[in-house]
Each structure stands twice: as structure tokens, then as C-alpha cells.
Amino acid sequence: MAIIEKDRITIRSPDDMHLHLRWDERLYHAIQHTFSHWGRGIIMPNTDENRPILTSKDVKEYRNEIFNFLHQFLATHAFEPLMTIKLVKTTTFEVVHAAAEAGVKAIKSYPLGVTTNSENGVSMNDLVTEFGGVFKAMEERGMVLSLHGEHPEYFCLDREDYFIPVLRQMQANHPGLKIVLEHITTKNAVQLVQQDTTGNLAATITLHHLFLTLDDVIGGSLMPHNFCKPLAKRPEDRDALISAVISGNPKFFFGSDSAPHFQHTKESACGCAGVFSAPVALPLLTSFFDEQDALEKLEPFVSQFGAQFYGLPLNRGTVTIERGSWTVPLLYSDSGSLRQLVPFWAGREISWNVVVRHCQLYE
């Protein structure tokens, strides 16, 4: 479907398969940058330590809140939030069935304490042993288990590797369960997904992990706006992610993991993990594929593979991106507010820009 010209590309309306929006005014900023480029997004449930999304009731409230914001922008029909709930000790198979009825597409597991708002996450032992009924119900309802794949008990750079045996055990226990290993950052995770033969394992890859290594976080000056979980790793890990994306393997699809945090909470003695990439995700991805001489691989990566793995219809609208340089703003804020957001690539140029979005969700 994509129309690729020298300075212009039109693709099927894309899906962001891993997105954080929050509850407060960050939702206002995140949603406006998202709906203007993306057709749907898998909305992560770790909204707030005190107000996580755990049940169908939470989902309905949160979805209403998202629609209220979309309504402010007269964009109610432009973007479909695909809701998730968080796996916690109190998640039961009844919770799963009610969530499925409420349209929930995935349940997200956060290892205890490993990332933003994961204080009520699960231990690795519980993940493997405690949720048999929950995972069975998810299989029945065709729901995806979305895994933050880091083992919290290990050294930070090794956490993804040590999660692999946990994942293998999960697969052995629940062979029919669809699993997405989220925001992978290592060569080993890429190989694991490539070599998997079950057909039930896929992975999201973010924008920032295609650009960053650990050097861009702590190699020179401390760069808090590049700090996220999982941490960006070694150059060979980034190269493996790039090859996976360029290979066109449908097991790898886009999830931005765009995660808005206020500037003062990132530029802090105890800074939050998360990169706010929503404003730049689609233009910078286009530029990435262009530089790799692989523009034809953009559309499947953002508009097809994720939907297919989740069993969703493909979007029907389009978005057009044109060659044309622009400079990413240093900050986004409401005028006068100190609660500002610093986007990924702030102050730098991007050589592609979204020019038209023709909204039309699937039939």
C-alpha cells in the first residue's frame, strides 16, 4: 500500500504498540503528539504509582479520560487507544475475563521495582508459578502477555539476559499464550526472538534504542533525557536491533515506549527512567529507514506486523511524511508552567516531517 517517492512517503496509518500517556497534563501533551501521527496505540497501565490500571473499571475510567482529551482536540475518531491492565498479585481469571469484555488487548507484567511505577510489580518467581489461571484465561481470550523483560535481581546491564530463562519457562508452561517481549535492547534478545519457532513470541523495538548506546547516557556527560529502562546497551546490541528492524522479520514491530516525565523529575538527583519520543517518533523513524536505504520497510514495521501479531485489523487511513528539515523544540509546556517535557532529539534537526494524516480507522 505504501507510496514511496523520492521526497515523500505515504503509508497506512501506523500503530504504536507500546505507549505511556499518564493521567495528568502529560496526557494532554502525549495525546496531541500521538493522535496527529498514529492511528492506534497500546496504552501502558503504569500510569501512576497511586492510580495504576488494574481492572476493567480502571480501564473504562482511563479510556474516558483519554477520549476527553481527544475530544478537546476534536480528534475523538482519529485515534484508538488499545487498553491494557497491569499484572499484580490480585489479578485473577475473573479480572481477565472482565478486562477482555472491556476491550483490553494485553496484560502487562512489570518486574518488581525495575522501572517507573513498578512498585507493585511481580516477582520472577510469582510470574512463573502463580498466574496459571490468569494465563489460561488470557489464552482463551486471545490476549497478549506483554513482558518488561528484565530480571530485577541482577546487575543492570545483565537484567535482560537473566530474564531469558524466565521467558523460556513461561513459554514451556503456557505454549499457547501470545507473548510480546517489550522494548528489547540486546543482541541476545534479538536472537532469542529470531530463533523462536512457536509463532507466539514477538518483540517491540523503540526508536531511541535504534539510536542510543550506553555512551549516550553516561559515556560523557550524564544525559538524563536518554535514561530509560531497559538501559541502552553496547554498539553491537544496537546494531542487532537495527538489523532486526531492517530485516523485515514480522516478529519485530514498533513500540515507541514514549514515556513523558516532567523535566524536573528527570534532571534530578534521583531521575526518572523514560524517554518522551512521541513528538518525533514517526519523522525520526522515517529518517532512520531512509538512511538505511530501506524506506519500504517502514510501513510493515509500524503499520502491519504489530496489528497482525495482536490479531487486529489493519488501519485504513494514511499518513504522509515528506522530506523537509525541522528542529525539534527544546521543551513542551503549557505557557508559564514549570512542569515541562523535554522530547527525545530536543534541539536537533530531523530531515523528514509528517505533513498529512488522513484519518480513517479500520472498518
Catalytic positions are 257
Q: Which three cell numbers stand for residue 229?
A: 529502562
Q: Does 46 bind ligand NCD (CB under 6 A)?
A: yes
44 neighbors 108 (Cβ within 8 angstroms): yes
For residues 69 to 108, the per-residue mask of contacts with ligand NCD, x marking binding by CB under 6 A and - elsewhere, is ----------------------------------------
Sheet holding 3-4, edge to edge: 3-4, 8-12, 318-327, 349-358
Count of residues near ligand NCD by CB under 6 A: 12
* Cross-strand bridge partners of residue 85: 107
For residues 117 to 156, the per-residue mask of contacts with ligand NCD, x marking binding by CB under 6 A and - elsewhere, is x------------------------------x--------
> Number of helices and strands (H, E) in the chain?
13, 12
Residue 116 binding target from ligand NCD, Zn ion, none, CB below 5 to 8 Å by type:
ligand NCD
Pick from 257, 263, 318, 319: which binds Zn ion (CB under 5 A)? 257
- Would you call 350 helix, strand, or coil by DSSP? strand
Pick from 112, 157, 273, 361: which binds ligand NCD (CB under 6 A)? 273
Q: Does 274 bind ligand NCD (CB under 6 A)?
A: yes
* Minimum distance, C-beta of residue 316 to Zn ion, in the bound complex (Å): 27
Phi/psi at 304 (nearest 5 deg)?
Answer: -130, -55
- Residues from 195 through 234 that contact ligand NCD (CB under 6 A): 228-229
Pick from 161, 237, 257, 299: which binds ligand NCD (CB under 6 A)? 257
Which of these ranges, 32-40, 72-80, 110-118, 304-312, lies near ligand NCD under the rule CB under 6 A?
Answer: 110-118
Contacts of residues 150-158 at CB distance under 8 Å and 24 or more positions apart, as own/partner, are 150/111, 150/114, 150/115, 150/229, 150/230, 151/111, 151/124, 152/111, 152/112, 152/113, 152/114, 152/124, 153/124, 156/231, 157/214, 157/231, 157/233
The number of CA neighbours under 13 Å toward the Cβ of 86 is 26
Nearest to 186 by CA among 228, 157, 153: 157
Sequence length of the chain is: 363
Q: With 0-12 CB in 10 A as exposed, 13-18 as middle and 19+ as buried, what is 19? A: buried
Nearer to Zn ion, 161 or 257 (CB): 257
Residue 228 binding target from ligand NCD, Zn ion, none, CB below 5 to 8 Å by type:
ligand NCD
Residue 300 binding target from Zn ion, ligand NCD, none, CB below 5 to 8 Å by type:
none
- Residues from 16 through 35 that contact ligand NCD (CB under 6 A): 20
* Minimum distance, C-beta of residue 46 to ligand NCD, in the bound complex (Å): 5
Site residues (CB under 6 A) for ligand NCD? 20, 46, 115-117, 148, 228-229, 257, 259, 273-274
Contacts to Zn ion by CB under 5 A: 257
